[in-house]
């Protein structure tokens, strides 16, 4: 099967964030809470069209990939997360970039 030509591929955005929490947060719990929250806010079709994926998470800092048209909705979803597996968290969105390499660089310059 051939790859789709560039005109058919969706443009990606990478959202860099960190959680302020009293304890270490597990990546699976973050992904589960993120999807649950997104489905609650925007439904199944919104979740499917967003192409959202948790690319990286180290317990505090993380990167979420999404379609460029859903950047604001994913940022809203992240900012409304307050509990992950019973633990209080405070999400802070550090920025949005167009490439994973720049997202990792951005995360390193902000203390991650």
Q: How far is CA 93 from the centre of its chain?
A: 10
pLDDT at 98: 93
Q: Is the dihedral of CA 40, 41, 44, 47 positive or negative?
A: negative
Identify the pLDDT of residue 112: 63
CB count in 10 Å sphere of residue 29: 15
Report the pLDDT value the prediction gives residue 1, as an integer from 0 to 100. Answer: 72
What pLDDT, on a 0 to 100 scale, did the predictor assign at position 45? 87
User: What is the distance, to the nearest Å, from the Cα of residue 89 to the centroid of all Cα atoms in its chain?
Assistant: 15
pTM confidence score: 0.89
Among residues 13, 32, 34, the alpha carbon closest in space to that of 78 is found at: 34
- Helix (DSSP H) and strand (DSSP E) numbers for the chain: 3, 6
What gap in Å lies between CA 50 and CA 53, rounded to an integer? 9
For the chain, 112 residues long, give each residue's pLDDT as a single digit of tens: 778 787 777 889 999 999 999 988 899 999 999 999 999 999 988 888 899 999 999 989 999 999 999 999 999 999 999 999 889 999 999 999 999 999 999 888 877 6
State residue 27's pLDDT score. Answer: 93
Alpha helices by DSSP H, the chain = 27-50, 71-79, 100-109
| Best CATH choice for the domain 10-109 from the list 3.30.70.3250, 3.40.50.880, 3.30.365.10, 3.40.50.2300 | 3.30.70.3250
pLDDT for 78 equals 94
């Amino acid at each position: 099967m051939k790859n789709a030509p560039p005109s058919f591929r969706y443009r990606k955005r990478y959202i860099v964030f960190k959680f302020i929490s009293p304890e270490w947060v597990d990546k699976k719990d973050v992904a589960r809470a993120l999807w649950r929250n997104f489905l609650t806010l925007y439904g199944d079709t919104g979740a499917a069209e967003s192409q959202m994926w948790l690319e990286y998470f180290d317990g505090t800092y993380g990167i979420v990939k999404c379609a460029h048209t859903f950047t604001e909705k994913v940022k809203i979803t992240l900012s409304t997360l307050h509990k992950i597996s019973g633990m209080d968290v405070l999400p802070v969105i550090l920025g949005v970039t167009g490439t994973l390499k720049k997202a990792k660089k951005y995360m390193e310059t902000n203390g991650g």
